[in-house]
Structure 1
Amino acid sequence: MLRTPRTRLTAVGAAASLALALAACGGEESAGPTADPEEIVLSLVPSGDVDSITESAKGLESFLSKRIGIPVRAEVTESYAAAIVAMKSEQAQVAMLGPIGVVQAEDQAGAVPILQSVRYGSGTYHTQWFTNDPETYCTDEVKVVEGLKYCNGTDAAETGPAGENAIAKIKPGTSIAFVDQGSASGYYYPATQWGQVSGGDALVDLDAQFAGDHDAAVLSVARGDYPIGVSFDDAREEVAADEPKVASQVVVFAYSNEIPNDGIVVAGGISKELRTKITDAFTAMAKDPKGIKTLHAVYEIEGLEKVDTAALKKAKSVEEKFGE
């Protein structure tokens, strides 16, 4: 998702499945502007600990409410699909989503992308593949950088792809800790990448397990539940202090292609005036010292910029071809 910027490993539940089914029905265009709401609901999807993001979201509510002039209430949904359904059913007016969620919200809920996150000075990031079995997936010596382990040149690579020869070693039937069925870095991009380098079909040939967030995917591999996992780069930093096995057992061995960062979308049914107020409020928040601290606490956002439409088109292409 979000890179984001994350506890248990679960299959995707019935509620998420229902959300996906409902979302799939919604390719129609928005019916057009209606009366603006008296309250704005902001949908968030957990990239890590739910309690932590819920607490951090209070800062979003306060800042945005004052700037927009309408009460803003943040709701943490269980999945990307659920957040999109909330927008489609007019239960939410704003959502902070990963790139796949952004293009799906456009297609299924008539949402309008307004801003894109910046991290480390970049509007893109990549999936990291990691393992507790370096003898199989590392073709060179494991290197330690700032307490975390890398191989196959990932310690030096600033962008992806990297280590694709190692990805090709992942055999059909291998259990992999993915993140969420709607996550770009946690499912769409790595599953697509494995299919491209192996010639297989990730949706059929791999034993996909869904951790629910990036933290949980890392922890499941650290604790030996699964041999391989994926997450945004570098989700290990979020949990290494609390789980020593992350530093000792989890080795990053490959990266995906670059992925556009997560973004902010607004409901297509609200007025252009309110859309502008929301955009201006988030932009002001990213420039305010306290505001940017809140954005960083929620999703590690270091800045906001205009939407990169070309990058989103590439994400849309991945989404459309996924599973073919």
Structure 2
Amino acid sequence: MRKSVIAAGALAVLALGLAGCSAADSGASAAGGTKDWPKSITISLVPSVEGEDLAEALDPLTKYLSKDLGIEVKGVVASDYAATVEALGSDQAQVVITDAGSLFNATEQHGAKLILRDVRFGATSYAGVAYTNNPGKYCADKPVTVKYAASGIDLSYCNGIEKAGADAAGKGPAGIDALKKITPGTKVALQAATSPAGYQYPVVAMRDAGINTDTGITQVPVEGNNNAVLSVSKGDAEVSFGYWDARTTVTKEAPDVADKVVAFAYTEMIPNGGVAVSDTLPDDLVEKLTKAMDGYADSSKEAKDVMFKLVGLSDWTADTAPEQIARYGEVLKQFSK
């Protein structure tokens, strides 16, 4: 999953070599638009690819949008997700493809409009998962083996968070009361404080369960979801947290992970990122842009491949679920003091 950045102003924008004209800069008309449409707009994003492959990955999207909108669409690379927000606020970009935390900051700080949400494997959100190597302590029932359809791997779950005989759904919150069984001094593996599934949502859930996450547990710092799972598999921690389902990333290093590491709780759902636009853009341009981007992945096989290669997505959807983004903002505020 793409990493979230807590505060949009935390880092300065690196050089954005291209800057689109704002709506106020142009009196020219565009195909299907009005005289208020700008001559060009700029998209700022953090791509999944690097180096010389970037132009190859980005150009098909901008060319597609330019043709559909009848105006020039440029693409620039931000140094990180916070930089996309800074670009939007300074009008160096009028469209941002960014993470959920930055979407919240863009709407709160700059009046941006959320127009699309990222879709990965058919979902716009995902759960943080609590893993353990001690099911006797955290499971109220015998763990069941359920297939994780995205990879075809059978994994173990308890506390009724998944149902035997059906593919795993990964819907939370579920089994969350089991976090109360974390006793003082328990070794809990936590990822960096910017990780939604590996730190932020789990810490909020543990605090809600009455656990002092500073003094009531022994924190075991780990880097990445794979290491969060391995820490439990190897016995370095009794509990860890990661995205659903990070166990599939370590099956080579830990062939017995499906049985040895049990998922016993899901946090509330964590939103994927998406697309936001500047409030300087005319409404009819935003409407057409939204429709064009929403249809991009289905416009051709090449487009679907480009989208996955560029930003690691399978689609966008206009079903933005803004309440999830707002909730994410509430979570982020707990870690921005």
- TM-score with structure 2 setting the length: 0.67
Counterparts of 1:150 and 1:54 in 2: how far apart (Å)? 43
Q: Which has the larger radius of gyration?
A: 2
For 2:211, what is the secondary structure of its paired residue? Answer: coil
2:101 aligns with 100
Q: Is the Cα contact below 8 Å between 1:179 and 1:217 reproduced in 2?
A: no
Structure 2 residue corresponding to 1:313, chosen from 326, 330, 335:
326
Query: CA 1:288 to 1:131, structure 2 compared with 1: closer, same or farther past 3 Å?
Result: farther
Counterparts of 2:55 and 2:226 in 1: how far apart (Å)? 19
1:188 aligns with 200
1:168 aligns with 180
Superposed CA RMSD in Å reads 4.1
Query: CA 1:262 to 1:192, structure 2 compared with 1: closer, same or farther past 3 Å?
Result: same
1:111 aligns with 112
2:145 aligns with 144
Q: Is the Cα contact below 8 Å between 1:177 and 1:221 reproduced in 2?
A: no
Q: Give the CA deviation at 1:252.
A: 1.4
Structure 1 counterpart of 2:312, one-letter code: Y
Structure 2 residue corresponding to 1:63, chosen from 58, 61, 64:
61
Counterparts of 2:145 and 2:291 in 1: how far apart (Å)? 42
1:9 aligns with none
Counterparts of 2:24 and 2:290 in 1: how far apart (Å)? 19
1:279 aligns with 290
Structure 1 counterpart of 2:100, one-letter code: P
Structure 1 counterpart of 2:42, one-letter code: I
Aligned length: 295
Q: Is the Cα contact below 8 Å between 2:293 and 2:316 reproduced in 1?
A: no
1:131 aligns with 132
Quote the sequence identity (%).
29
Query: CA 1:151 to 1:17, structure 2 compared with 1: closer, same or farther past 3 Å?
Result: closer
Q: Give the CA deviation at 1:227.
A: 3.8
Structure 2 counterpart of 1:243, one-letter code: E
Q: Give the CA deviation at 1:128.
A: 1.4
Q: Give the CA deviation at 1:268.
A: 4.2
Q: Would you tell me which structure has more helix in proportion to its own residues? A: 1
Q: How does 1:208-219 map to 2 (within 5 A)?
A: 209=221, 211=223, 213-219=224-230
Q: Is the Cα contact below 8 Å between 2:220 and 2:237 reproduced in 1?
A: no
CA shift digits 1:117-139 (9 cap, x unpaired): 34565544322122344444334
Counterparts of 1:210 and 1:34 in 2: how far apart (Å)? 48
Q: Is the Cα contact below 8 Å between 1:116 and 1:262 reproduced in 2?
A: yes
Query: CA 1:179 to 1:307, structure 2 compared with 1: closer, same or farther past 3 Å?
Result: same
Q: Is the Cα contact below 8 Å between 1:99 and 1:184 reproduced in 2?
A: no
Counterparts of 1:71 and 1:141 in 2: how far apart (Å)? 55
Q: How does 1:44-55 map to 2 (within 5 A)?
A: 44=46
Structure 2 counterpart of 1:196, one-letter code: D
Which stretches in structure 1 are left out of the alignment for 5+ residues?
Answer: 7-11, 24-31
Q: Is the Cα contact below 8 Å between 2:6 and 2:335 reproduced in 1?
A: no
2:312 aligns with 299
CA shift digits 1:243-295 (9 cap, x unpaired): 34544543211101234443222344556566455433421213224233444
Counterparts of 2:94 and 2:265 in 1: how far apart (Å)? 37
Task: Point out which structure has higher relative CO (alpha carbons under 8 A, 6+ apart).
Answer: 1
Query: CA 1:322 to 1:272, structure 2 compared with 1: closer, same or farther past 3 Å?
Result: same
Which stretches in structure 2 are left out of the alignment for 5+ residues?
Answer: 13-21, 26-37, 67-71, 147-152
Q: Give the CA deviation at 1:314.
A: 3.4
Query: CA 1:167 to 1:120, structure 2 compared with 1: closer, same or farther past 3 Å?
Result: same
Structure 2 counterpart of 1:148, one-letter code: L
